[in-house]
Chain A
């Protein structure tokens, strides 16, 4: 009975809904092999961060849509950043895949999983939208075509705030 109670207590704990998480400043390598501070790249109003890997198929489907969002909103204080989460096994393919997918927004490589481990997503891609204070205002795991409309709606909503 104690076991059941203990197990249930962990589950019930999650009834709490707490403050939005803040994404701290991390220093990562970009595709030009230069060290970049994440916060130096952030948008004036909103930052969209896409966590992706080269081996994840939905990630590759999401990227062309994020390219469109980047082009449509870059003049409105919105920045899109791709944070690649490939490990040592596949990270060598990041520059090639980024070029094949014609990614236009900045791509940073989180080979040590520092940023992704601070968020603990369940799968890839994971997309977050930060406000000007770096607080996560939108969180989305996975991607199927058409969901870019949800991202746009979330951006529009935040821009109106």
Chain B
């Protein structure tokens, strides 16, 4: 059951005053000890005039996220202020969302407040923030930064003899709920974790224990992992997490197994990963086992990803890359995931990419992909495309991309296409035009046979402190994967201006 908003409601001028005092106080601190201290931060402001599907009309909204960090020798004091304004008061909020105090020395790392920590490869615990990503859920229609942190305390000690110890206690953030929702909804889990690792030459051995408590669960978990380089050309990583339902030696009905082996043979590199997850969803937002599905940069493939279902998933991923003598490269990837959910749902993908610099001016990437995805009901999904760069004088360049995808779903054939053209002047300026086309029935209005999205982007970074991004037109939504995290992006129609400032 969702609880009513109880923490820091948006109505009091006293709260605005508190934020002003916090910001002003930090600035005063920075000026008090200028010789030894520094204040730095980053602000991201985004304005939208437009609508997403479900809106009756266009409206204006503004989102802002400001990070302030004050450093004094080994100490760091920071906060994150986040706000969203729209004509709909129930969606709006202003929050001092994160506070952090950190002491960092060569041996100790101590954090209080909001922090990020991932144990192993994330089978036991995973937190993150996705740089520059703003999340907007269709259900809440508020906008918030895409991150998952822990509110609590963390301590780590590194010895000179190869040992490392860590301890943490806190409440992870379930980012399904925007900042305007109650604290209990946003942070329903309480975790306590302790662990140690030992480094022996190029091998590492690690153990972590985690205790979870929320309104329905009270449970212990363990994780053991080992990693190392057997030879310079052969490395491995193993991770096994499991629960203790009936005490330390109780029967184990939940586990997550992850294995990885890397082999390098001259110019051939092979990465193999194996997964076996059974009933291993910890709390509402504590862990996130690795997907073992390639994160594609091509749009049609990026959104066709498979999101792991740790309730029951097994499978593997193999990727081989080979560097040819002319410095071109070939990448082959095969991923397979099986979800046993009463019946088997199978995801299978074969991907091939060839990349080469044709000469000093031309650069080409071509790809083809074949997949079947039972969860999405997509059969014989075939994708192909290319990405061509033309380098001009004075660091200017042109880029042209074309991607095509077709698949069968419910006896109907669907097609997706992407066409993109961009002009770059170094990293300072990019102007691009993107158009997308689909005949996918799931995305069409009744009576329509196809749909187009067409938009233009202008990115201008006059210097590293300031950056502007303007979008105008229609933008296709759907699943998106960035920085190893997949999330849902909503369609958008209108004008968007993003301004980032570093100071």
Contact = CB atoms under 8 A, between A and B. Distances in A.
Contact of B321 (A2, A18, A100): A100
B500 A122 contact: yes
Choose among A35, A99, A124, A149 the residue with the greatest number of B CB atoms under 10 Å from its CB: A99
A22 interface: yes
A131 to B, nearest CB: 14
A146 B395 contact: yes
Contacts of A88: 118, 120-122, 126, 288-290, 484
A122 B262 contact: no
Nearest to B149: A117
Interface in A1-47: 2-3, 6-7, 9-11, 13-14, 16-22, 24-25, 27, 29, 32-35, 37, 39
A34 B202 contact: yes
B131 A121 contact: yes
A10 B38 contact: no
Choose among B69, B158, B483 the residue with the greatest number of A CB atoms under 10 Å from its CB: B483
The number of chain B residues touching the other chain, given as a range, is: 35 or more
B484 A92 contact: no
B66 interface: yes
Contacts, number: 200
A49 to B, nearest CB: 14
A135 to B, nearest CB: 9
B121 A6 contact: no
A6 B85 CA distance: 11
Contacts of B426: 144, 146-147, 150
Dominant SS among interface residues on chain B: strand
B97 interface: no
Interface in A71-101: 85-93, 95-97, 99-100
Contacts of B117: 112
B413 interface: no
Interface in B59-117: 62, 64, 66-67, 69, 71, 74, 76, 81, 83, 85, 94, 104-106, 109, 116-117
B85 A87 contact: no
Interface in B3-34: 13, 16, 19-20, 23, 27, 30, 34
Nearest to B498: A122
A143 B391 CA distance: 13
Nearest to A96: B269
A123 B27 contact: no
Given A57-B297, A143-B427, A111 B271 contact: no
